[in-house]
Structure 1
Amino acid sequence: MASISNAALKQRHMKPANDDVNNTQHFGSLDNPFFEDEMMNKKLYPESQNDSFDLQLLYLRFQRRHPYTTAWLLYLGFLFSLIFFACQIHYALPSPVPSELGAVLDPATGLYQHRFSEENVRKIVRHLSEDIGYRIVGTEQDQETQEYLINELKQLKEQAQQESTRLRAMQSDKDVAIEIALPQFDMWVQVEDGSHQFDFMSKECDKNAILLNAHYDTTLGSPGAVDDALPVGVMMEIIRIVSQRPTLKKNMFNGGEESLQDASHSFITMHELRHSIRAVINLEGCGTSGPEILFQANSKPMIEAYSRVPYPHGNVMGNDLFSTGVVLSDTDFRQFVDYGNLTGLDLAVYKNSYLYHTHLDLDELMERGLPQHIGENTLALATYLADEVDLTSSMERTKAVVYFDVFGQFFVSYSMETAIMSHIFIGVLVVITLVTGASRPTVRSLVSVVLSFISALLTPLFSVIMIQALGKSMIWFSNEWLPVVIFGPLSAAGMLYVQWLFHNTRIASGTNELNTLSSIQVSYTIAMAAASVLGIASSYFLAIYSLFTSVALIFNHKRTASQKKSGVDYTAYYVASAIQTFYCSHLAFSLYDLIVPLTGRIGVDAPVDHIIAIMTGFTIVSFSPPLLAFSHRFGCSSLKRAISRLVVLQIVIILVCSAILTPYDTLHPKRVFAQHMRNLTSGESLMYVAHADAGPFYSPYITQIESLYDTKATFRSGNGNNGDWKSVYPFNQFLDSYVFDTTPYIRKHTTNATLSKSSAPLTDLIQRPPVLYSENVSYNPETGLRKLTILCTHPNYIWTVTSFDAEVVSWSMKLEVPSKEKFHYVVRHAGGYKSDGWRLDLEYRAAGIDDKLRVELTAMETEGFGRDIERELEGSGDIGVMRRLVKARPDDVSLTYFSSVLSNFDL
């Protein structure tokens, strides 16, 4: 390579630059168009011919000729490097501790050093999820789980007693001075009537008691490794540790969360210890990887306690989001708060919830280090609460607490009063920047910032129109970050388009930059003030943006003053973006991990493409607001080119993704529900198949089933047909169905020749179906009230659902009648194993003694759930209607299946 002389460089610099660079007026180190000359004249580079010198000159030439590209590449490279590092920190998990290191004897003291061991937890998880399997309330597996846990707890109790004996022996040795008393170990097994309304250790218990809660049952269609065998295993490991060292805990497992939280309700309303409980730590699982998160918290002392855990991960935004009802999920935490008036924390595994409540909730798919993470956090939290906090004092419930983790490294919490004071300080700082001239917003630039924000939210909806026109709804579903690719470029284009419209060509680009950056500061400050007035704890996020934009403006003011320049110095953008982009990335990971998989189970009518597109727009505009100002740096024409390129990129991305992507795959399956319903009243035998999201369904899956049973499906809307899926109430309201008449298939494939030619209803072959009886019927003509006792027998059936319309005055359930008017009642019963009946006393307004109550009864068969598939009809031969459907399940479908019967009774 040949070197370039100083004269040649100077001659080249005398040539006119393009319009955009002339309009820029400045370019940091990148601001100075004669940077190469200065370098040469100051002899910063040796005037010798070598590869290093030539490469640097090539870079300088490229920078001089393409300042627009260089500046964008450097700035965007900086921003994306922040995303990369935030990702590494956000998803980091501790190394698992093996079983042999869970208890190590210290020869110097003779005491065991106990550590939480992931390996111990996984042994329990594997036994529950693989050896026992589907632990549905009322099944044999449910009973087996209870017996297993009781036996394990008895073994831990024996170990604690042995350790206590060993320590007493050590204390009797005169050469050993040690005073240690282990906690007393007691167990309760509670069986209660847990009737409640669902809307969508020593017996002298310490009054300072902490409740650790987890449920061991599973939902339909899932072996429940994470939900909730993992928290059960975590609690067992904590019991092992605390029962062998001087720390007192009270623990509780429950077996009825998936059946609308019956067990937790029973405990907090009926157990003898309920008045001794001061705080609750609820452990849940709705994902299979990543760090667990603090989902909900309702008191300052409990939030402060959480700050002591080794791996904090939580944000008040999640609390605010949960309170809106947007997240269609619920946990036992609600029962403890609503019925026990407790304060506490709700912790949950949430990342990769594609597998939540599916057949893929397996130990082998649970990320390595996850049990260690949640275990060490829970142990530290419970230990601190028990040893350091006096819970007998006032534990006032409040949501007026700001809290957030800082990249999972430490936890910050403070009251709303403190938040208001800090916001006032930030507001004063903003005023100072305005007075000193560091911040120079204009009405024009302020309007442009607000409209850019709105445009960033709405322009991705054009991408929604494109993918839906191509028949590719939800193509972003198979990866949490695909929405950014599929909707992000157009969102950025929309955001910049507003800036192009508002770019003032009568002033320098640098002035446009400063005005826009100043307006970003003012916009966030106004939003912060409004959120503060409304008492929104999440306003801290706005405060961070306002603060660091102000810091950047002050830095820029000093920098430009020292260099006698105007506008925005290039380095000021790095100051403005560093904390904002880094922290936004950290929050965005949690947001996408939570929301994107959730769209696979919120109903077929939910506008999920629109929701995700708008969420993506919010992320784009929050990723680095200073980009709005930076976009003015090279003038109007360069801004226009950036917009056009983003639009073209967006079109290409959508076309390519539509051609090669599908919404579902093996580890990101579509949720499908199948129910073989036998209607004893009508004599019909029907297969209902439904899905829980807006993605493609009829083709090819329904067409495949039509071929399988050699019959055409009939579409049946969930609106007006709520009885179709009453067995899974209240989830039934989300399900539209395709219905298949299975009677022809059964007659064709039965080995019973008589049955194949018979026209009698197949339901006549059902033996001992659920039945409702009425007893003690009476009518009072003066009050117009009719009384009766309803008795239900349901051998070999579980989860009965009874529904009727009546003006109920009183009943025998342990809760108030929810309505004084005529009302549609849905009463669900989920009993234990071999619980074959129930009773309900009822009094309702009627026209007379013969004004009978029309009651619909649905019951689920105990067969299925991973062991058997379906009880065959008596005398029909081995047909296997459900078995055939399960066997033909595609790899990208998660199938929840069961059989049920339906009858109507006049009582």
Structure 2
Amino acid sequence: MERDSTVRRTRAQQKQQKQQKQQKQSLYYEEAAALNGLRSRKHKPEVSAGLLGESSAVLLLLGFVCLLWLLVLLSLQQLIISSPGLFNALRARKHLERITSVGPRTVGSPENEISTVNYLLDQIEQIRTESQTGPHSITVDVQRPTGSFSIDFLGGFTSYYDRVTNIAVKLEPKTTAQHFMLANCHFDSVANSLGASDDAVSCSVMLEVLHSLANLPTPLKHGIIFLFNGAEENILQASHGFITQHPWAQQVRAFVNLEAAGVGGKEVVFQTGPENPWLVQAYVRAAVHPFASVVGQEVFQSGVIPSDTDFRIYRDFGKIPGIDLAFIENGFIYHTKYDTPERIHTDSIQRAGDNILSVLKHLVMSDELADSSAYRHGNMVFFDLLGVTVVAYPARVGTIINYMAAVATVIYLGKKCRLTSNAGGRYMRDLACAACVAVLSWFVALLTVLIVALLVTLAGRSMFWYSHFYVAVCLYGSAAVGKILLIHTLAKNLYYGGVSGVDLSERFFDVSLLLWCCALLFLTQRGLCSAYVPMMMVVFPLASKLLLTKHFRARGASLQYSVLYLTGLAVPYVHIMFLIWVVFEIFTPILGRSGTEIPPDIVLASLITLATVILSSYFMHFIYLTCSTRRILAGLGSVFVLMFVLVCCGLFFPYSADPSSPRPKRIFVQHSTRVLHALDGTVERSDSGLWINSLDYSGMQHITPHIPQINDSIRSRCSEQLPYCGFPWFLPVKALVKKNWYLPAPEVSPEAPLQFRLLSRQDTEWGTVKMSFEAKGPSHMSLYLRPHAGASLMGWSFGDGTPRFDLSGEYFIFYSHGLDAPAWSFWLEIQVSLTGV
């Protein structure tokens, strides 16, 4: 009898639970009906809102992500069918091969100042001869400017240049023109690099664009100045010489700058303006193969990327607007010996030429160029969709759209708050708790991944991902996804034990929507055009959810609903995945040259976690629609453990000499002889050696086993009493590269030995000391200044005469010259202390 009684009680309890579940589902359908604006709550047939199976959920999400990633990768392919047209990529390639055939082209070298200059002048003369009977005239001017300026790049320094080379080519109608576009490239390169992508290919493209435009049968409305500048790698010197000194500069109304931060691939618009939205509109209308993003512009201008282009000089010193384009793919071999013409596909040249030719032609035929200041009204929001088309609209219109999206979100959430079942603020409390769970999962994921990155760094395996990027995705990505999933699983089973998965899925969709709305409002308030990204992440999911409410009410979490839900996320997600590709394509190579003080694994792990958080935001909805996550967690844990063990065992070496995809380690080596003088001019000591700087965090860890002489016993120590530690810094990067090595070596015998002398010293009427100096030596020299204790630098002969960018009491002056430059003469004015100088 006791057993029979127990069975009856159990059946009664099951019946009661079933009735409660049916009542709860009925209430849910009433809420859904209210959100759709139904005036009456009709009783619907009872439907079991089934949950997704674990395997189904995994296959759906993995398939969705992989499909979108495949679309992104396909969009990055050239996919250009070369056909005879205005721009001839094969002819441009011949220019590229000829320019790079002379070898590295450093400023002051015969290869840069003579060989390359003569080739460019010969080609320009051929174009002029060929187009003499046409409606255009070509004028050529070789400029060799001298000047100086200060710039807050790399911590700030002053630049002085003497007789660097510019080749300016003016193309205009034979009736002359008053307004000009400027097209800029540079033909110099860094030492030990052919500089095919940076920037010989751009000059090759410009030569062919000049050829195409000069031979047009109808005259252009305005003119174009093609500037082939020969000193960009010396931190933007030649462009400064042109825009501040050349008489043609006064007629320039806008510019297009062609640059590279990688080798080959597609050229991307990553800077425009300032303001002047008509330039973006011109690119949108004219570009044959568009590739642009305002997100890249705002990231670049934030200063987090340690690079700069001539765009800055024309913007800041010329006060003219422009468009900055650059190749960004494969930055691992940027500024290395691997930057060769063979790595640049002809399709890449064709698409760049098509774009630049069409955009320049459009601009010089436009009315805006004649009075560009009249069209300077605000910024533009612009982005391309998989390279197919560009979306662009004024930032002020974007602000209106953003606020409308935010209002729609408030209305959606507000309707839920007004439901009778949410009386007393119950919905708001539940939403706040769910938001806390989501934020907690992200915080725990970030903390976990950072701990893993720290352990990898301490184990001496930093930068294992440099040649094996997807290993980092598996290691850090599995840790991040696993932690997010674990926190939500614990919350579902322990905290939300009595709440149905359907209710929780709705709640966490609302949380994602709310958080993206907050991000939208924050970026909009900051005036950032990048706010279009959270706007897309609000509008598309919200619209999809509203459209699918009826379907979800009728069938629950069916496979069809899941597919339709993911389809609604496809547009914003594919664009965000493209942006994620851009971020990693730029930052991964940069971490190989960001200095010895920034742990790169911490940065990369943080970026992977951020990407995971962004992509997982609307996937939280699925966590609560899945029956179980046990096997998913087990799989992620297995992947993490396997990757962690393999990484710590040293299976993945950071660098590679694979000819098809090299990943070289960057080391800056200078053979120098140091002669240290006292203040009275006497020699205190001298030495000679190889001064070695590792440009990445790993230092000499991977070099010492192969060259035992380079070890920590020869680590150089900073002589604090000497300017810049008494070492020959090429650029002021002392704060980024603090670990360096000094290997004794024979004395240097330079072709142009340094001669430095004090010409005069005089006391001024206002109590300062003015000292004049003269220096003569190689084409590249650096001057470091630190006034004696108690004294201060009041003036000098550089720039506007006011010393700038005092770095901890030190001043850095970078000097370079072209051919046949006279001795470098300058003066300093110092406020003398009571104890003298």
Change (3 A) 1:514 1:820: closer
Of 475-484 and 295-304, deviating more is 475-484
Call closer, same or farther: CA 1:810–1:565 in 2, change over 3 Å.
Answer: closer
Q: Distance in 2 between matches of 1:490 and 1:602?
A: 26
Partner of 1:639: 629
Residue 483 of structure 2 aligns with an amino acid whose one-letter code is G
Please state if 1:293 is matched with 2:268: yes
Once the two structures are overlaid, the 10-residue window that deviates more, 189-198 or 82-91, is 82-91
1:520 is aligned, of 501, 512, 524, to 512
Give matches, 1:724-873, under 5 Å. Answer: 726-743=728-745, 746=746, 762=747, 769-780=753-764, 782-794=765-777, 797-806=778-787, 807-819=792-804, 823-835=809-821, 837-846=823-832
The one-letter code sitting in structure 1 at the alignment partner of 2:318 is G
Q: Which moved more, 1:378-387 or 1:832-841?
A: 832-841
- State the Cα distance separating 1:717 from its structure 2 match: 5.2
CA distance in 1, matches of 2:279, 2:24: 52
Contact 1:524 1:542 in 2 (8 A): yes
Corresponding residue for residue 428 of structure 1:
407
Q: Secondary structure at the match of 2:802?
A: coil
Aligned to 2:228: 253
- Counterpart secondary structure, 2:104: coil
Q: 1:663 matched to which residue of 2? A: 654
Mapping for residues 500-579 of structure 1, pairs under 5 Å: 500-503=489-492, 504-563=496-555, 569-579=561-571
Find out whether 1:72 has 2:67 as its counterpart.
Answer: no
Q: Following TM superposition, by how much is the alpha carbon of 1:95 offset from its aligned partner in structure 2, in angstroms?
A: 3.6
Contact 1:93 1:370 (C-alpha < 8 Å) held by counterparts: no
Cα distance, 1:498 vs structure 2:
2.5
- The aligned counterpart of 1:892 is none
User: Equivalent residue for 2:205?
Assistant: 234
| 1:230/1:371 contact within 8 Å kept | yes
From 472, 492, 497, the counterpart of 2:486: 497
Q: How far apart, CA to CA, are the structure 2 residues paired with 1:87 and 1:24?
A: 47
Match of 1:160 in 2: 131
SS in 1 for 2:147: coil
Q: Is the 8 A contact 2:51 2:625 kept in 1?
A: no
Instruction: Name the counterpart of 1:49.
Output: none
For residues 659-690 of structure 1, give each alpha carbon's deviation from its aligned partner in whole angstroms, at most 9, with x where no partner exists: 43111101011101111111234331111112
Which residue in 2 is equivalent to 1:476? Answer: 465
Q: Distance in 2 between matches of 1:531 and 1:544?
A: 13
Cα–Cα, structure 1 residues 732 and 214, in superposed 2: closer, same or farther, change >3 Å?
farther
What do you get for the CA RMSD once the two structures are aligned? Answer: 3.2
1:381 corresponding residue in structure 2: 359
Query: Do structure 1's residue 348 and structure 2's residue 323 form an aligned pair?
Result: no
Q: CA offset at residue 267 of structure 1?
A: 0.7
Match of 2:248 among 273, 282, 296: 273
Q: Which moved more, 1:235-244 or 1:765-774?
A: 765-774
Once the two structures are superposed, the pairs formed by residues 296-311 of structure 1 within 5 Å of their partners are: 296-298=271-273, 299=275, 300-308=277-285, 309-311=287-289
Distance across 1 between alignment mates of 2:766 and 2:348: 61
Q: Which amino acid in structure 1 is aligned with residue 413 of structure 2?
A: L
Shift of 1:582: 1.7
1:707 CA drift (Å): 4.8
The equivalent of 1:206 in structure 2 is 177
The two structures have a TM-score, normalised by structure 1, of 0.76
Asked if structure 2 preserves the Cα contact closer than 8 Å seen for 1:142 and 1:833, the reply is: no
Q: Deviations over 1:73-108 (max 9, x none)?
A: 1342133112212221133342445xxx3xxxxxxx
Asked if the contact 1:458/1:614 (under 8 Å) is kept, the reply is no
Q: Gapped runs of 5+ residues in structure 1?
A: 1-15, 28-63, 102-113, 165-181, 747-761, 853-907
Secondary structure class of the residue paired with 2:365: helix
C-alpha separation in 2, matches of 1:65 and 1:260: 60
Partner AA of 1:442 in structure 2: L
Q: Distance in 2 between matches of 1:311 and 1:408?
A: 7
Q: Distance in 2 between matches of 1:65 and 1:847?
A: 81
Deviates more, 1:216-225 or 1:389-398: 389-398
Query: How far is 1:71 from its partner?
Result: 3.4
> What are the superposed Cα offsets for residues 861-888 of structure 1, whole Å, 9 maximum, x if unpaired?
xxxxxxxxxxxxxxxxxxxxxxxxxxxx
TM-aligned CA deviation for residue 135 of structure 1 = 0.5
* Cα distance in structure 2, aligned partners of 1:230 and 1:594: 20
Letter in 1 for 2:664: P
What residue number does 1:675 align with?
A: 670
Partner of 1:884: none
Do the aligned residues in 2 keep the contact of 1:444 with 1:502 (CA within 8 Å)? no
d(CA) in 1 for partners of 2:21, 2:206 = 65
User: Equivalent residue for 1:419?
Assistant: 398
Q: Indicate conservation of the 8 Å contact 2:256/2:324, yes or no.
A: yes
CA distance in 2, matches of 1:317, 1:398: 20
Q: 1:422 to 1:847 in 2, by over 3 A?
A: closer
Aligned pairs (5 A) from 1:303-452 = 303-308=280-285, 309-395=287-373, 400-435=379-414, 437=416, 442-452=431-441
Native 8 Å contact 1:675 1:689 kept in 2: yes
Q: Give the SS at the match of 1:634.
A: coil
3-state SS of paired residue (2:817): coil
Letter in 2 for 1:679: R
- The alignment-based identity, stated in percent, is 23
Structure 1 pair 633–824 and aligned structure 2 pair: CA distance change class (3 A): same
Q: How many residues align?
A: 736
Counterpart among 119, 122, 145 of residue 93 in structure 2: 122
More displaced stretch, 411-420 vs 224-233: 411-420
Which secondary structure state, in structure 1, belongs to the residue aligned with residue 728 of structure 2? helix
Change (3 A) 1:446 1:569: farther
